[in-house]
Structure 1
Amino acid sequence: MRTRTSLLTAALLVAGIAAGPSVLPAAASAPAAPTAAGSTTGQSPNAALEAAIAGLPNADTTAALVRVGGKEGTWHGSSGVHDLRTGRPADPAARFRAGSVTKVFTAAVALQLAEEGRLDLDRSARSYLPDLIPASYQGVTVRQLLDHTHGIPAADFPGTTVEEWYANRFRVHDPRDMVRSAVSKKPEFAPGERQHYLNIGYTVAGLVIERVTHDSYERQVARRVLGPLGLRDTYFPGTNPRITGPHNHGYQTMRLDDGTRGLRDVTVWGTTDGWAAGDIVSTTADLETFTRALFRGRIVRGPLLEEMFTLPEVTDIRTGEPAAHSVGLSMKVLGGREVWGKTGGRWGYNAAIASTRNGSRTLVYSVNSTDAKGQGMNRTAEKIMVAAYGRP
């Protein structure tokens, strides 16, 4: 359950926050007003989008960066603060952790390899990784890894609370060890029978990419996507827990050293547990370029692009509702039309890319959430999504 206490607002605007083991002084400035750049089509800024990011920082969000594009008009804006210590305005060009948006890059590379005949989506993952995938998972195909219908359970990680995870934030996780942990357990369901959104399928997919290319996953994404599109502010951090280059700070509500609940600066936090499923760092400008190129068929071409817009005909293991995740993307009906995209969350950071199928309206946002991995959607992110596309 998402934690909310009366201390949150005070921690943001009056009493200060905890950064590492020490307590920082309160930011002296008032919440930063949103700044917006008008549409390149000559239209005025979208009032709903501007309202969605107004009033930051608040108890849920310390900063928000938004870019909307496409034939329906363009808009970009930012709000909130770079950090709560100084209270200076958020940097609209800041880099941030994009979390599971990484999966779209991984899926795109896998589909490119399929187009080249180097990877067969209907072939078993075990046939590519016989030394790692046991016979109990021999029926899992590459496609099922990518659309979350594989049935492999999550890997085990130390800790069960955010405080314990924070204590382990510098621990380095090896992807092969994560897979071994997962496949040592019984399948959640037979391959292709249900859908369960988990990171582990993309961890396996990253290793498959390395096996068929005889190259690192990171270099393959750089060579096939980042380089050709000129995404100079997008990179994989590897074992470095810091974000290089300009970035806004991320915060997480948790128990502090003195036993109270408040905000801790979690900007420095390793992401090796995510790897090919969730460790990429990017900017809204780079992700907008990536989204446009993806939906225009410039990254994945021909029939294989349809894999990203085809939902498996199964139900979700938790809700029993029809599957919402395809290869790399997910779909939600907003404002009466299908919107495809991907959200992501790392501690202190929520991000998303989205677009209508024809690319008429694209959206990219970064929201510095104070409970980025909590249940339910961050309130600011939800307002941004509704402002861009309409209500579900």
Structure 2
Amino acid sequence: MTNSRISKARWTAALATGAALVSVAVLGAASVPAAAATPTWTQAVAPATGQIDTAALRAALAGLPEPSVRGAMVRIGGRDGRWTGTAGEWTAPVEGQFAVGSVTKVFTAAVALQLVGEGRLSLDDPVQDLLPGLLPSSYAPITVGQLLSHSSGLPKPECARPGTPVEVVTSALSCGTPTSPGTSVQYNGINYFLAGLVIEKVTGRSYGAELRDRILRPLGLRHTHLPAEDWAWAEGGLVSTAGDLTRFMNVLMRGGLHRPAERASLFTVPSIPDARFSHGGLMRTPAPGGGPVVWGKTGTNRGYTSGVFATPDLGRVVVYSTLTTGTDTKRETDRVLGIVGAAFKGYGEGVRGAGGA
């Protein structure tokens, strides 16, 4: 396949699997009210080495709402400047809160890698040793690194039910057959329920407390939190804003949260077929439409399909979110691919250094 077709296939798979394990149907605190369909955008661009394609962005947002996507928000930062836009029924400010779904996994992996850097955990530690009795005795040893990179071989969570993290894991593993760990990639939210439980076991504190004290407070992410009622937890429960996600990605990818070895793990993808997730929970993929290689994560929860992606040099950092209806998966996917492709369109090759917004 051509790079463009490979890119579309990867993004389609990422959007299909980016949902929190069982999405919460009620929008709750993150809801966005319905309103006029006229797109709005603001622009403050000071080009340095690239060019934000504002015409492509306007075209990607045009026509909303539609039956499959009610509205959308885009925020672009980096050395090319800034651009923000909303369309359709997204009438909250660009910096309004929304449920980020499986983008939460990158926060969870960041905490786990900090514990690795402190010598309290290793990517090679068997999960069965850390959480004795939780996984079936018939399962082969699974490492922490395999959880974070979705190469654990755990069966698809078709039997997962809401509950405590332990109850979610137990119910999910009550059916299905695992594959050999470390031999293939199968995106699975149960990996990150287990990662959250590992964090709690190693630290003796709650996952939420570790996330708050290690990531949210030090980075000043005042609008990011873990709602108590969202059982998706360490796998997909966070609520955040475009600005907070942009800051998180800038600090994370620059190495501001980890020592050099653990920062390297952020960009280390296992040497197995079709591997695309790193030990930092990041997905590596070309941007839609043949754009630059980017790192980031998609997520779906509470009616939002969202993502945060950045070029390796942080020359462009993109956060988007769409209000999807679940009525036409293909049209939803095409709309998101169009928005993300437009956001990275025009990014200049040869950009060096770490920029941010």
TM interval, shorter chain, is: 0.7 to 0.9
TM-superposed CA distance for 1:46, in Å, is: 2.0
TM-superposed CA distance for 1:289, in Å, is: 0.8
2:193 is paired with a residue whose SS is: helix
Asked if 1:105 corresponds to 2:107, the answer is: yes
Per-residue displacement from partner, 1:21-46 (whole Å, max 9, x unpaired)?
Answer: xxxxxx7x752222223225698872
Between the aligned partners of 1:275 and 1:375, the Cα distance in structure 2 is 28
TM-superposed CA distance for 1:295, in Å, is: 1.3
Per-residue displacement from partner, 1:240-272 (whole Å, max 9, x unpaired)?
Answer: xxxxxxxxxxxxxxxxxxxxxxxxxxxxxxx31
Residues 303, 323 of structure 2: 8 Å contact kept: yes
State the match for 1:167 in structure 2: none
Between the aligned partners of 2:174 and 2:133, the Cα distance in structure 1 is 13
Residues 137, 187 of structure 1: 8 Å contact kept: no
Between the aligned partners of 2:312 and 2:178, the Cα distance in structure 1 is 32
Structure 1 pair 44/275, CA: closer, same or farther in 2 (3 Å)? closer
More relative contact order, 1 or 2 (CA 8 Å, 6+ apart): 2
Residues 45, 80 of structure 2: 8 Å contact kept: no
Between the aligned partners of 1:350 and 1:205, the Cα distance in structure 2 is 23
State the match for 2:254 in structure 1: 296
Asked if 1:226 corresponds to 2:216, the answer is: yes
Per-residue displacement from partner, 1:258-306 (whole Å, max 9, x unpaired)?
Answer: xxxxxxxxxxxxx31x221111101111111111111111123312122
Between the aligned partners of 2:42 and 2:282, the Cα distance in structure 1 is 28
State the match for 1:341 in structure 2: 296
Structure 1 pair 372/288, CA: closer, same or farther in 2 (3 Å)? farther
Per-residue displacement from partner, 1:171-202 (whole Å, max 9, x unpaired)?
Answer: 85211012122344464211101110010000
Residues 107, 211 of structure 2: 8 Å contact kept: yes
Residue 287 of structure 1, aligned match among 245, 249, 269: 245
Residues 276, 283 of structure 2: 8 Å contact kept: yes
Residue 119 of structure 1, aligned match among 118, 121, 132: 121
TM-superposed CA distance for 1:379, in Å, is: 3.0
Residue 213 of structure 1, aligned match among 179, 182, 203: 203
2:286 is paired with a residue whose SS is: strand
* Structure 1, unpaired ranges of 5+: 1-18, 21-26, 83-88, 159-170, 240-270, 316-321
What RMSD over aligned residues (CA atoms) do the two structures have, in Å?
Answer: 2.6
TM-superposed CA distance for 1:136, in Å, is: 2.2
Between the aligned partners of 1:110 and 1:314, the Cα distance in structure 2 is 22
State the match for 1:201 in structure 2: 191
Asked if 1:32 corresponds to 2:35, the answer is: no
Residue 146 of structure 1, aligned match among 140, 144, 148: 148
Between the aligned partners of 1:102 and 1:137, the Cα distance in structure 2 is 27
Structure 1 pair 177/345, CA: closer, same or farther in 2 (3 Å)? same
2:165 partner letter: P
State the match for 1:73 in structure 2: 81
TM-superposed CA distance for 1:69, in Å, is: 1.1
- Stretch moving more, 222-231 or 67-76: 67-76
Task: Work out the number of aligned pairs and report it.
Answer: 310
TM-superposed CA distance for 1:146, in Å, is: 0.6
Asked if 1:54 corresponds to 2:65, the answer is: no
2:41 partner letter: T
TM-score normalised by L of structure 2: 0.80
Structure 1 pair 196/281, CA: closer, same or farther in 2 (3 Å)? same
TM-superposed CA distance for 1:340, in Å, is: 0.8
TM-superposed CA distance for 1:361, in Å, is: 1.0
TM-superposed CA distance for 1:60, in Å, is: 2.3
TM-superposed CA distance for 1:138, in Å, is: 4.6
Between the aligned partners of 1:30 and 1:233, the Cα distance in structure 2 is 26
2:234 partner letter: A
Residue 329 of structure 1, aligned match among 251, 267, 282: 282
Structure 1 pair 331/287, CA: closer, same or farther in 2 (3 Å)? same
Residue 307 of structure 2, aligned match among 346, 349, 352: 352
- Same amino acid, percent of matched pairs: 41
Between the aligned partners of 1:186 and 1:282, the Cα distance in structure 2 is 33
- Stretch moving more, 229-238 or 365-374: 365-374
Structure with the higher fraction of residues in helix conformation: 2
State the match for 2:17 in structure 1: none
Between the aligned partners of 1:153 and 1:44, the Cα distance in structure 2 is 42
State the match for 1:362 in structure 2: 317
TM-score normalised by L of structure 1: 0.73
Structure 1 pair 129/233, CA: closer, same or farther in 2 (3 Å)? same
Per-residue displacement from partner, 1:198-237 (whole Å, max 9, x unpaired)?
Answer: 1000000000000001011011111111101111111001
Between the aligned partners of 2:328 and 2:247, the Cα distance in structure 1 is 26
2:69 partner letter: T
Structure 1 pair 286/150, CA: closer, same or farther in 2 (3 Å)? same
Residues 100, 304 of structure 2: 8 Å contact kept: yes
Residue 380 of structure 1, aligned match among 304, 311, 335: 335
Between the aligned partners of 2:52 and 2:37, the Cα distance in structure 1 is 24
2:37 partner letter: P
1:226 partner letter: L
